[in-house]
């Protein structure tokens, strides 16, 4: 009798566990869908980030030109956790990594300059950071936000569910001016749909 009771208790516990696990999986999927929906509906808005111009925010992501060294405390006070710099070594006359980390934020450098350096790996790395909610709020910047617009466009289409025309318009508002960067972004989107 005791063995039967213990066996039925174990089976019951397993069924309860599996039921809870199934519920957790369903809840996790619903949360992902809600996040994707909120990201789709998030609008690009201008924002003041000190010297960084242009500067916009979409949900938990800031898109901008180059901030100044003096802007770092203000960026930290806005709640920014991570700063992603798309500029190459030597483009900034001061140590951005030291300034960012000194202000208590994380620094990520994914450098490229010119169409030939805008590779799938660059797009992949930027998208990985932008999808990582633990790193948000995040500031993505380059010198003028031209490079930012290109990588942002791919994230908005592939990870945010926007149509390509809407994402392109948003990327141009954020700073995209280079037709070459635009074509690279469109080709990457086409390969990764």
Contact 159, 60 (CB under 8 A): no
pLDDT single digits (tens) 32-48: 444 444 455 689 999 99
pTM over 0.85: no
- Supply the pLDDT for residue 41: 60
Mark out the alpha helices in the chain (DSSP H runs).
Answer: 2-41, 72-77, 96-102, 120-131, 146-158, 164-174, 179-192
Q: Residue 138 has which token pair?
A: 């995040």
pLDDT at position 24 is: 47
Q: Which one, of 106, 92, 178, lies nearest residue 140 by Cα?
A: 106
In the three-class reduction of DSSP (H, G, I as helix; E, B as strand; rest coil), residue 39 is classed as helix
Residue 191: predicted pLDDT: 97
Computed over every residue of the chain, the mean pLDDT equals: 87
pLDDT in tens, 26-83: 454 543 444 444 455 689 999 999 999 999 999 999 999 999 999 999 999 999 999 9
Which pLDDT does position 67 carry in this prediction? 98
pLDDT digits over 127-182, tens only? 999 999 999 999 999 999 999 999 999 999 999 999 999 999 999 999 999 999 99
CA angle 168, 54, 112 (to 5 degrees): 70
CB contact set of 32 (below 8 Å; sequence gap of 6+)? none
Cβ neighbors of 176 (< 8 A, separation 6 or more) are: 145, 146, 148, 149, 150, 152, 153, 168, 182
Rounded to whole angstroms, the Cα distance separating 100 from 108 reads: 10
73-114 pLDDT, tens digit per residue, is 999 999 999 999 999 999 999 999 999 999 999 999 999 999
């Amino acid at each position: 009798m005791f063995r039967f009771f213990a066996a039925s208790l174990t089976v019951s516990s397993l069924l309860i566990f599996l039921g809870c696990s199934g519920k957790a999986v369903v809840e996790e999927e619903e949360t992902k869908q809600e996040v994707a929906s909120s990201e789709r509906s998030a609008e690009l808005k201008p924002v003041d980030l000190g010297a960084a111009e242009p500067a916009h925010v979409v949900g938990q992501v800031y898109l901008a030109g180059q901030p100044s060294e003096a802007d770092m405390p203000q960026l930290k006070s806005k709640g920014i956790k991570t700063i992603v710099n798309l500029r190459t070594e030597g483009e900034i006359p001061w140590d951005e990594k030291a300034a960012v980390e000194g202000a208590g934020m994380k620094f990520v450098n994914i450098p490229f300059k010119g169409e030939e350096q805008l590779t799938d790996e660059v797009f992949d790395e930027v998208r990985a950071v932008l999808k990582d909610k633990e790193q948000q709020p995040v500031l993505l910047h380059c010198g003028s936000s031209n490079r930012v617009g290109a990588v942002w466009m791919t994230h908005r289409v592939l990870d945010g569910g926007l149509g390509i025309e809407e994402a392109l318009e948003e990327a141009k508002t954020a700073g995209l001016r280079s037709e070459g960067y635009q074509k690279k972004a469109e080709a990457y989107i086409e390969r990764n749909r």
